[in-house]
Amino acid sequence: MSSTTTTPTTATPSALTGALNLSRTAATAARVLRQLRHDPRTIALMLLVPCVMLFLLRYVFDGSPRTFDNIGASLLGIFPLITMFLVTSIATLRERTSGTLERLLAMPLGKGDLIAGYALAFGTLAIIQSALATALALWFLGLDVTGSPWLLLLVALLDALLGTALGLFVSAFAASEFQAVQFMPAVIFPQLLLCGLFTPRDNMHPALEAISNVLPMSYAVDGMNEVLRHTDMTAAFVRDVLIVAGCALLVLGLGAATLRRRTA
């Protein structure tokens, strides 16, 4: 019996500690991007749906262009967050349930390498998605913002990365793609209602305002509104950006902690 017992000789410091190995992270990202390249529907969902939604929204308010200016910047961050959450959660769950993650983690590949690789791959698409949506809103749909378009793009990108991180995290708690989609009402919809899109957060019931103060989407919307109203980068904008970025990193860390070497 003892002669058949395996010892953890194949585990490397990277696998045990989660320390990042750049070559393994890059290889993981390249593998994910190769898979996505053969899935044009997923690419279309990530890159085109936010643009289509912004286009529809602009002409829904065709008779009231100021309304589009008031909410368009906020939705420029919300739409990428939602689409990246959906795509990332489903794609990652597919790899969990198919045994791909289990096989990868049996190799000398750390959890940090794996999560960072997924984040890098989906983050690359998030950059393209945010750039397309921002360019469409500003230069085709006529979204009027006071601040720099580059700051608007920065917040949109961070929102998309936050959606990626949330998708990676919740995929650990779903047993099927249908269950992954069901997490959207639980994770995204409350933030959508409380983020200040429909009414200023200080007009809400104090209990709801307190909850909104700890939700990352609230700061994503606040950051967009800062660009909408101010010509220069404000202290509030820097605070909002740092909170959104910090939440994304925190959730990515939690996502790494949920990875298991055996698929349930």
User: Model confidence over 162-217: pLDDT tens digits?
Assistant: 888 888 888 778 777 777 788 888 888 899 899 888 888 888 999 999 999 999 99
Given a cut of 70, whether residue 264 has pLDDT beyond it is no
**What is the arithmetic mean of pLDDT over 223-244?**
90
Predicted local confidence at residue 238, as pLDDT: 93
Query: What is residue 241's predicted lDDT score, i.e. its pLDDT?
Result: 93
Look up the pTM and report it.
0.78
pLDDT tens digits along 115-155: 788 888 888 888 888 888 888 888 888 888 888 888 888 88
> What CA–CA distance (Å, rounded) separates 166 from 188?
9
Residue 163 near residue 80, CB atoms below 8 Å: yes
Q: How far is residue 80 from each of residues 54, 75, 87, 215, measured CA to CA in Å? A: 11, 8, 11, 17
Query: Which residues have a Cβ under 8 Å from the Cβ of 189 and sit 6 or more positions away?
Result: none
* Domain layout of the chain by residue ranges: 22-258
Checking if the pLDDT of 4 tops 50, the result is no
